[in-house]
Amino acid sequence: MDRIIIRGGNRLQGRLAISGAKNAALTLLPCSLLTDEPLTLTNLPRLADVDSFGHLLNELGVSTTVKRGSNGEIGRDMTMKAKVIASTVAPYDIVRKMRASILVLGPLLARAGEAKVSLPGGCAIGNRPIDLHLKALEALGAEIELAAGYVKATAPAGGLRGGRIGFPVVSVGATENALMAAVLARGETVLENAAREPEITDLARCLVAMGAKIEGIGTERLTIEGVDRLHGARYQVMSDRIEAGSYACAAAITGGDVELLGARIEDMEAIISGLRTAGVTVTETGEGLRIIADGKLGPLTLSTAPFPAFPTDMQAQFMSMLALADGASVLTETIFENRYMHVPELARMGADIQVHGRTAVVRGVDHLIGAEVMATDLRASMSLILAGLAARGETKVHRVYHLDRGYERLEEKLSAIGADIERVGND
Ligand code: UD1
């Protein structure tokens, strides 16, 4: 297994291109199952999770062709064609590696009338049940059975029918599955208390480009008028607001000056407001966002919540930054119950963090010290990279495969703006 070695202390400076959004890609890829015509996604990030999703689609009978990105250096384009659905089973071996595999459930059910998907099970950041996905599909007429670790969904004779779904909790994945199923259901579907993350908007726009009828895009109430069939399309994946936010923290924690090319202010307001309150200057440039920090950071009080509030996927990275702020910060994690696994690792680098249930109190320290640390999940891994960039001495981050799931060419991007970072093989 690879590890990443960082010698901290360099001020980051320069321009860095933001890749296509992982979480948008993972819900756009299964849209290919909804039509027998080709769907081309451009600006797909080059990530392990995107490759795994491609393999899953291949298992289901989708042909995939990958080309060099039309966007220059980063990303790539993929054309998918599901002429026929050859299998409706998403096997355990693929689902266990990538929870987002559950997003084939809605599209398979809508197009083929049935789907059997391995239950994703728990994961490092919490239990992550899928009850809301299943209830939403039931509201569209599906029959659900759970057996031998699989969920089997069957559409009624004549296919799914429109329904009214009120989500008791905002769920990104359940909203995505319901939306992808409803576009081919007979009649009208209303999704209330739907997630409105920018990735959901990206999904809805792609479905509209494929011929779907959706109203209320970007709001918590989506109305879908089912159509008989969808057609092919070419669609550009949005830029990754979490990758952009992570590199903004890298600029902030090193007292740097970095322009994030392609970052979109409208997707990042809570992140930007947090950075500004901490004393970081964020300005819009014609090509993205510029992040300027002078080495001094102030404390913050932050609570994670569904969009447009502060994203749980940025909590770990902000924690590293605040570990060096002048004063005490209070972070509350309201989305996942076990998302502080980076805390003991940061503590090994000298951070002063105390966790009380869902709240973490971060008392800023004068400096962090490089150490050997273990990545536990994707965003936690990034928090360790950030700490390493600012720490005195050398930091070795083990279990880098977590990072490869979500950050395209991390060490290349960071070294191009001045970081002393390298990947070493064979852990
Ligand atoms: C997605 C993102 C993930 C992000 C999360 C929250 C992808 C691939 N992943 O995950 O990066 O951290 O949104 O913004 O896009 N819940 C239930 N029952 C369900 C589904 C969810 O109780 O059936 C709960 C979850 O346990 C959690 C909350 O709802 O507490 C939100 O989860 P959800 O929005 O569904 O997260 P994901 O879609 O899994």
DSSP annotation string for 340-375: -THHHHHHHTT-EEEEETTEEEEE--S--B--EEE-
Return the percent helix, strand and coil in the chain, to nearest 5: 35, 30, 40
Query: What does the pLDDT look like over 288-300, one tens digit per residue?
Result: 999 999 989 999 9
Q: Return the pLDDT at 71.
A: 62
d(CA 133, CA 173): 7
pLDDT at residue 409 tops 80: yes
Query: Which residue ranges have their beta carbon within 6 Å of ligand 1?
Result: 23, 26, 100, 126, 128-133, 169, 171-174, 195, 311-313, 335-336
Distance from the first to the final alpha carbon of the chain: 5
Peptide bond into 107 cis (omega under 30): no
C-alpha 325 – ligand 1 centre gap (Å): 30
Which residues, in sequence order, are CB contacts of 183 under 8 Å at separation 6+?
A: 34, 110, 207, 212, 213, 214, 224, 226, 227, 230
Judge whether 256 and 291 are in contact, CB under 8 Å: yes
Query: What does the pLDDT look like over 194-220, one tens digit per residue?
Result: 999 999 999 999 999 999 999 999 999
Of 53, 105, 128, the residue with max ligand 1 atoms within 8 A of its CB, to mutate for a pocket test, comes to: 128
Compute the mean pLDDT over every residue in the chain, rounded to the nearest whole number.
Answer: 95
d(CA 415, CA 418): 5
pLDDT at residue 122 tops 60: no
Which segments of 48-171 are extended strands (E)?
63-68, 76-81, 89-90, 114-118, 143-147, 150-154, 164-166
* Catalytic residue positions, numbered: 123
Of 335, 336, 402, the residue with max ligand 1 atoms within 8 A of its CB, to mutate for a pocket test, comes to: 335
Of the listed ranges 34-38, 144-148, 222-226, 418-422, the one predicted with least confidence: 144-148
